[in-house]
Structure 1
Amino acid sequence: MPLAEIPLCVWRTRGLSFSFRGQDIRYWTAGQGDPLLLIHGFPTASWDWHYLWAPLAQRFRVIACDMLGFGDSAKPLHHPYSLMEQADLQQALLSHLQIDQPVHLLAHDYGASVSQELLARRHEGRAKVASCVFLNGGLFPERHRALLIQKLLLSRLGWLVGRSFGRDDLVRHVSQIYGPCTRPSESALDDYWSLIATNRGTRILHKLVAYVPERSTYRERWVGALMSQQVPLRFINGAVDPVSGAHMLERYKELVPNPDTVSLHGIGHYPHTEAPVQVLRHYLDFREQPLAYLPQKVAWS
């Protein structure tokens, strides 16, 4: 049975705000139980989780924010955006909510790198993480295949590319990374564009995309966090994603001890919106396992 969608207009009315280093951050929380932190990707926002939000909130206390520079949160123009600071933001949000117990992470794309930093901080005793599930993230920068738009944004003229970026550009680039049968509707594309354009977000796209080289800078730290085997991990991967698909999953299986992986056939870069029922099933299956148990598993769905 399909999962119910939360329209963006409704999602926005349920958001709350807190201040992070003088910047307004929008966040959402619902449910009770173990805290589950959902961390979105680039260039979208926490609305990406809207299909999974209600069913997860029936079992856990779900928490998500639009990270600095994304969605409905502040997008300061003269700001050096970094994944490190976004990890600080996630910890500040948990502190704001007075959550002191270990949290479970479910992260996509850009958010997967933020989660890797949180895992590294756990190893250092500076963060409390109980488990982590990744969706299509650039966990290993040597296997990440950047899109042309990302390369252009990283160029000297990136600021100009970002400012001229429009809805038609979004449609053209998004069409490359979804599965052939799971592309978003025109309505969903309108909503994605709204989240990017809010607060004049195109002015900072070239700054946000600095996460791509940042992954290489911190590769040893973040890959080491995956290999440390301190908390249960699972990688749910949309196999036909040209950016971080089957080739990224293969690298994960090469480097991570006792890899727990799920490959979703025919699914692209956004498994949680392309195949939310499957992602929910595989996530709940993961959570039903004893926390100390890390099986080797490959599932096709």
Structure 2
Amino acid sequence: MPATESPSLAHWQTTGKWFNYDGHAVFSQMGGEGEAVLLLHGFPTSSWDWHRIWPFIAPHYRVFALDMMGFGFSDKPLEYPYSISDQADLHQGWIEQMGLGRVHILAHDYGCSVAQELLARSQEDALDFSIASVCFLNGAVFPEVFKPLFIQKVLAGPLGALASRVLSRRVFDYNMSRIFGPETQPGHEELSDFWQLLLYNNGRGVIHKLMGYLDERRCHRHRWVGSLLRARQPIRLIAGTADPVSGRGVIERFRELAPSPDIVAMPGVGHYPHFERPGMVWHHYRDFLKDTRSPQTSGG
């Protein structure tokens, strides 16, 4: 496969691996070699979000990604305590079980909150590995400037269970397209892949249960924003400015609160910069990582 050729969804699934997490099957992807980079996906999608940028990263780093509980090809049990904390437990256990001593984190959307929880645990010496760096992509790291879509509000409300059951492909396509940039819109086949992953294993039956992360962000703001502002690791925000939910507001808030804000704004790009402009994101991420490489690999 050429360095920048993306795999198909079928190939992504068949080349992945499943592991057991508290009696549930979790889908994962691993590849490349070198320093470890952990990719944390967003809502309501999956590790598939990374497939376009994966061919850029894997020749230079050892890359890890999984579908969190309730997402993608992983199990989606109806009776399950879905939470950001549990997703952080999932990643922490996975990394520690593999014996990784040091990881870089590249996180998007929902995954940004997971990364912030892992940062907080790192600052409490509660991890058996070190976090070398964190790069955020369009996520509500500051919940007060997050602007949820109407469908997200409905799913998070008292009618969420009903809304999830009647969620149609048309409504899904409309809302996904809204958060992409005007010149980087997903095509029919790409939307079909996103929809297929949502439907897989009764995903519509649990999507409203995943929406608890909106309240979690508000409840844990002090902990999660504090972990970001206290971080000693290099931190960068790469954000599409055309994102209506966590674009310009997050950029401005990051610039206002962070002691030494490292921000890359991408005009015309929406909520999924790594999907919309993977080459550009890799360029900015590669430059960020150059200054964070461990002494053992700096000459490679």
3-state secondary structure, aligned to 1:175: helix
2:5 counterpart residue number: 4
Which residue identity does 2:98 align to in structure 1? L
Listed as ranges, the matches of 1:217-296 within 5 Å are: 217-290=219-292
Give the RMSD, CA atoms, in angstroms: 1.4
**Is 1:216 equivalent to 2:218 in the alignment?**
yes
**Is 1:143 equivalent to 2:142 in the alignment?**
no
3-state secondary structure, aligned to 1:231: coil
Instruction: Summarize deviations over 1:73-93 as a string: whole Å, max 9, x none.
Output: 000001120000000000111
* Contact 2:41–2:110 under 8 Å retained in 1: yes
**Is 1:95 equivalent to 2:121 in the alignment?**
no
Instruction: Summarize deviations over 1:105-161 as a string: whole Å, max 9, x none.
Output: 000000001000000011001122110000000001100001001100111110000
Name the CA distance, whole Å, in 1 between partners of 2:174 and 2:164.
15
Name the CA distance, whole Å, in 2 between partners of 1:5 and 1:143.
33
Offset at residue 229 of structure 1 (A) = 3.2
3-state secondary structure, aligned to 2:249: helix
Which residue identity does 2:94 align to in structure 1? L
3-state secondary structure, aligned to 1:51: coil
Q: Where in structure 2 are there 5+ consecutive unaligned residues? A: 295-300
Provide TM-score, normalisation by structure 2: 0.95
Provide TM-score, normalisation by structure 1: 0.94
Q: Which moved more, 1:178-187 or 1:3-12?
A: 3-12
2:297 counterpart residue number: none
Which residue identity does 1:219 align to in structure 2? R
Name the CA distance, whole Å, in 2 between partners of 1:289 and 1:130.
11
1:186 counterpart residue number: 188
Name the CA distance, whole Å, in 2 between partners of 1:192 and 1:229.
33
* Contact 1:145–1:242 under 8 Å retained in 2: yes
Name the CA distance, whole Å, in 2 between partners of 1:290 and 1:31.
18
Q: Where in structure 1 are there 5+ consecutive unaligned residues? A: 293-301
Which residue identity does 1:76 align to in structure 2? P
2:164 counterpart residue number: 162
Instruction: Summarize deviations over 1:28-85 as a string: whole Å, max 9, x none.
Output: 1011111110000000000100011122111111000000000000000011200000
* Contact 1:135–1:236 under 8 Å retained in 2: yes
Name the CA distance, whole Å, in 2 between partners of 1:63 and 1:291.
17
3-state secondary structure, aligned to 2:206: helix
Which residue identity does 2:258 align to in structure 1? V
Name the CA distance, whole Å, in 2 between partners of 1:50 and 1:170.
21
2:176 counterpart residue number: 174
Name the CA distance, whole Å, in 2 between partners of 1:3 and 1:170.
28
3-state secondary structure, aligned to 2:53: helix
Which residue identity does 1:110 align to in structure 2? Y
1:299 counterpart residue number: none
Offset at residue 96 of structure 1 (A) = 3.0
2:61 counterpart residue number: 60
